[in-house]
Each structure stands twice: as structure tokens, then as C-alpha cells.
Amino acid sequence: MDKILRIDMGAEGGPKVTEEPLGDYTGLGGRALTSAMVAREVPPLCHPLGADNKLVLAPGMLSGTTAAMSGRLSVGAKSPLTGGIKEANAGGQAAQVLARLGYAAMVLEGKPQKDDLYRVHINPGGVKVILDNSLKLLPNYELVERMKYQYGRKITCISIGPAGEMKMSAATIAITDMELRPTRHAGRGGMGAVMGAKRIKAIVLDDAGAKMRSPQDPEKFNAANKKFVEGLRNHPVTGQGLPTYGTNVLTNILCEAGGYPAYNFKEGRFEGAHKISGETQAETENLRGGPGSATHGCHRGCVIRCSGTYFDKDGNFLSKQPEYETVWAHGGHCGISDLDAIAMLDFLDDNYGLDSIEMGVTIGVAMEAGLLKFGDAEGAINLMKEVGQGTHLGRILGAGAAVTGKVFGVERVPVVKGQALPAYDPRAVQGIGVTYATSPMGADHTAGYAVTANILRVGGFIDPLKPEGQIQLSRDLQIATAAIDSTGMCLFIAFALLDQPETFQALLDLLNGFYGTNLTGDDVVALGKRVLSTERDFNVRAGFSAQQDRLPEFFKNEPVGPHNVTFDVKDEDLDRVFDW
């Protein structure tokens, strides 16, 4: 994994493929690499859908190795949704395969003058960029079936659906899982629209004949990997809760805490939560059966296995197991308590290539505007189909919650930097509110998951209803997250890292055993700070100020039940988050 692959889609005479050494980017991976490349090579004031923007896909520092949990792919660009720098993170097989093919990063740059569509095929023999207008407006599932027919079943696909081709700001980039289904998505920030602007519909990866990446110190590396896996399996969250109930285990927990945003953030609990909880979901999946129903990994090497497969009442595949954020966004946020309807909405998100958080929040805003009533599952499905078809209304919705709120005159629009808030109310979980407000990424729970200490009591406890301690909590977690995103590790390893010093040491030993280095915890912190500083500098040059590091006013003015609290962290304290 020692080279950069560049595909210039705007080159004279057609797409141009070049390879180059890492050079100044040596030692970086994942988010550290995508953010460094975007910050250095993309003009901050450029149009996100223009020729000057670049889409960077980078496996992590440990991707392509036998290290457990190391299959996350970072996708970076200037975001069409936020107008700032963006890193969207996805599971699936792509990171492992791209790393084994030797690429630390794949960069899509330039823009074709014509409206033609292309597919890219990469294997150990080389890279081909192929004109293929027959793929226009294909949804992801049909597209992947065509790629399987053409290239066989031992491939990995990176693709966009119709939303990406139509350059909708809520568009995702889909990545196939172990079953070659387009179920894992670089979801946030409109990365699919950037890929659509480059006119690349699909990237087919085939690593047949490629070898695993080899560590400098195999003995140290293998011993660390064994200890790392033991730590994950011994932690109650990563070893029990997530494998048994998936991420949707959080529904009942957040409802009990009063931090589950319902009816477009009007309430902190949802009366229908028991119908869509992780416990009910797992029971339904186990009852209906089918391969990989209630427990499933999104990529090879996953030992947490928090995913699953959702079959309908007749035993037919409907979608991958909808995750907590998706169940909330299409469920409680919209007043919908029908798991089958939520799974259908999840399938449509994946098939059209749309961010389930952005679309669920957008539909909730549309409900607030009176386009349909809260709880109308059939109406929500019909709205999603309008987005996939690119109708006039569909294009408005596909632009995300902020645009939809402006078009329909809605005041309560839960966004930061133009990006929809995820499934934790910042009034009842104040630490996550700090992250939403200040992350360079826009509202993003994964950027600094303060739910750990606020709700789950992982890594200590900080009262979620009070502002005290939330700045330091969010700061520390944003730093740690930026570093973890750079390794290619799944963010869920953080639960064990926070509670088990020996598991954190095992991660350090994995890195040191692989690279022959002597990294310490301080080095990890320094890496996280470096990534965040790079991202914030880009945003400043793109025109961002402290005013973008704020929550919408209604979180300060409208108390939410059952605790009747508002977001009480002061603006001047938000401005201290990045004062190291």
C-alpha cells in the first residue's frame, strides 16, 4: 500500500490513469490521508460539483492486513451538503481489497465535458476506465448484479445510485458487503454527488492473486491481534450488546434516557419505541430466519458482527438489518413504528444511494411542513420513490433537510453546517450536542461519540443533562475518533479502548508490530489533533467562522421532555473545544 492511483476524468482525449508514490503523504491512511489530500489539493472556495473538487478514497493504516476490525474505508472531498471538508466512513470489502491491490489512496479528479458515464475496473493487472452509458440511472442492486455477471462473484463494487448521478446532496457511495450486496455506504455529506459529478458510476475491484499486507514484526503483530480480539469479546458492548441486538440496541436505552428525538425533535421519547427496538428487531429476524439474520459482519475480519439481514414475512430478502440511526430517522423521528416499512425505506436508501439519516430527517421536516402526517409509513415510502425518480419534489427532498426546510418554510430544521442531526437529542445528551455543533464534519455523532460517558457510562460518567464536563469529553473523543478513522478500524472498538487500557495497548502494538514503529498514546493523540487542525483550517479558508459551530436556536429555546431541558452549553465554551 505504497502508491496513489489518480484518475483524471477531465483529461484531454478522455480519462487518464496515473500512479505515483505517496511522497509527502507517507505514513498516513484513512481519514488522515483523505483530509490531508483534500486540504492540500482542493481549492476551499471551489464548487463541490466542479472540476476542481477531488474525491479521495483511502483504506486505513491497517487495512489489507489480518488485523481484526480493520476494514473501514474513508471517502473525502469538499461536501456539496456542508460546503466544508468531509470524510465519510464505510464498511464493506473495499478497504481491504484496495489496500491489497497496493493503493493507499484512489483519487478521482477533473470532470468530463460530456454527459457520458464510466465504470472503472481495477485488478493486479492494471486499471481500465470504460465508457458505459448503459448503466445510466441504474439503482445499486441492479448495477451490482450486472457487474457480477460481467466480472464474476469474486469482486467488490463501489457505486452510486440514481441519486448520485442526479448529484443530490444526500447521495451516498455504496460498497458491497461479503455477500456482494450494496449495503454499506459512505453516507454523510453527499459524497455520491461528487462521484456523480465525475461521471463514474461504478468501480469494480478484483484482488485475485494479491497477497495480504505483511507486518514488519509478525510475532508482535499476531500476539497483539489476539489480545485485541479478546478485549473486544470481553467488553459488554462489543462482546454482548452489539452482536446480539445490533446497533438498534440503543432505541430503548435512549428512550429511557429521554434523549430519543421523536416527531422532528419535538419529544425526547417515542411511544412506539418498543415496536422498533433492537430487542424486537432481533426477535423478528430470528423468528423469520434466513442466512445471517440477526448477527452478521459487514466485512471479513469483523469480530463484533453488529449487522444482520432483514427478511420479510415470506422469507424474502428485504434489506440488511436497519441500524439504529436508520430505524430512528425513518421510525421515531417520523412517528413510524412499523419495522417492515422502516426496512423498506432502508432498502430504498441503499438502492437509490441516499443517506438514511439525511433522508429520514428530511421526511420528518416534510411532515412538519404538512406534506404528510407523522406516522404515515406509506406516504414516507412514496416520498422516497419520488427522490429515486428525480421528480421536482424528489429533487428538493434529495437536497437534504436544510434545503427542504427552506423551501417549505419550516423553522424547526435540525441541521448543523447544512447536515442533519443524528439520533440523539442534544438537550438530553449535551456532550453529543457539543460534537454536533463543533465537528468540522457538520452534525455527526460518529465524530465524537459522547453517548459513551453521557448515557452508556463507558469511559466514566458525565451527567448528560448538564453542561459541565461536556467540552472536554467531546474534545477528547473528537481527537480519538480522528485517529481511529485513520487506522481503518471500526469506531466501535472505542468502547473497549475506553474501558480497557490493555486493549488500547494492543491497538498500539498492532500498529507498531506492523510498521516497526514505537508509537505511544501521545502519538495517537497528536495524530488526531493534526487531522482536526487540517480539517478546521480548510473550513476557515472555505469561509466558515464560529457561527457555523452552533446548534439551531430551537435547541436553546424549546425544552424537551421528559426532563424539560434545553441545550445549556454556552457559545463561548463551544469556541474552546479546539483549544488544545
Q: Which of 126, 131, 175 has its CA nearest to residue 155?
A: 175
User: Is the domain of 348 the same as that of 467?
Assistant: no
- Residue 261 maps to a domain: yes
At 504, the pLDDT band (50, 70, 90 cuts) reads: very high
Report pLDDT digits (tens) over 521-571.
Answer: 999 999 999 999 999 999 999 999 999 999 999 999 999 999 999 999 999
User: Is the domain of 419 the same as that of 431?
Assistant: no
Write down which residue in 385, 407, 423 finishes a domain: 423
User: Is the domain of 263 the same as that of 375?
Assistant: yes
> How much of the chain, in percent, has pLDDT values that exceed 70?
98
Examine the pLDDT at 295 and tell me if it is beyond 70: no
d(CA 380, CA 264): 14
- Taking CA atoms, 515 is separated from 49, 215, 491, in Å, by 37, 6, 21
User: Is the domain of 479 the same as that of 403?
Assistant: no
- Taking CA atoms, 378 is separated from 313, 336, 381, 397, in Å, by 17, 10, 5, 16
pLDDT, greater one: 4 or 492 = 4
Look over the chain and give the mean of its residue pLDDT values, rounded to a whole number.
95
pLDDT at 291: 65
- Residue 457 maps to a domain: yes
Report the CATH number that the domain containing residue 567 is assigned in CATH: 1.10.599.10
Q: Which helix or strand (DSSP H or E) is residue 530 part of?
A: helix 521-541
Report pLDDT digits (tens) over 100-146.
Answer: 999 999 999 999 999 999 999 999 999 999 999 999 999 999 999 99
- Residue 230 maps to a domain: no
d(CA 287, CA 306): 18
Average pLDDT of the residues in 146-158:
96
Write down which residue in 361, 394, 423 finishes a domain: 423
Q: How many structural domains comprise the chain? A: 3
d(CA 32, CA 175): 21
User: Is the domain of 480 the same as that of 367?
Assistant: no
Other CB atoms within a 10 A radius of the CB of residue 24 amount to 10
Report the CATH number that the domain containing residue 336 is assigned in CATH: 1.10.569.10
Report pLDDT digits (tens) over 389-433.
Answer: 999 999 999 999 999 999 999 999 999 999 999 999 999 999 999
Report pLDDT digits (tens) over 160-193.
Answer: 999 999 999 999 999 999 889 999 999 999 999 9
User: Is the domain of 490 the same as that of 580?
Assistant: yes
The length of the chain, given as a count of residues: 580
| Contact predicate 465/563, CB 8 Å | yes
Examine the pLDDT at 246 and tell me if it is beyond 90: no
Measured torsion, CA atoms of residues 11, 15, 20, 26, in degrees rounded to the nearest 10 = 90
Average pLDDT of the residues in 67-82:
96
| Contact predicate 478/524, CB 8 Å | no
- Residue 60 maps to a domain: yes
User: Is the domain of 185 the same as that of 325?
Assistant: no
User: Is the domain of 466 the same as that of 360?
Assistant: no
Average pLDDT of the residues in 499-526:
96
Average pLDDT of the residues in 342-362:
98
User: Is the domain of 135 the same as that of 250?
Assistant: no
User: Is the domain of 373 the same as that of 436?
Assistant: no
User: Is the domain of 188 the same as that of 154?
Assistant: yes
- Residue 116 maps to a domain: yes
- Residue 165 maps to a domain: yes
- Residue 277 maps to a domain: yes
Hey, which of 209-218, 243-252, 550-559 has the most confident mean pLDDT? 550-559
User: Is the domain of 34 the same as that of 175?
Assistant: yes
pLDDT at 124: 95
User: Which domain does 556 fall in, by range?
Assistant: 426-499+518-580
At 159, the pLDDT band (50, 70, 90 cuts) reads: very high
Report the CATH number that the domain containing residue 124 is assigned in CATH: 3.60.9.10
Examine the pLDDT at 353 and tell me if it is beyond 80: yes
- Residue 232 maps to a domain: no
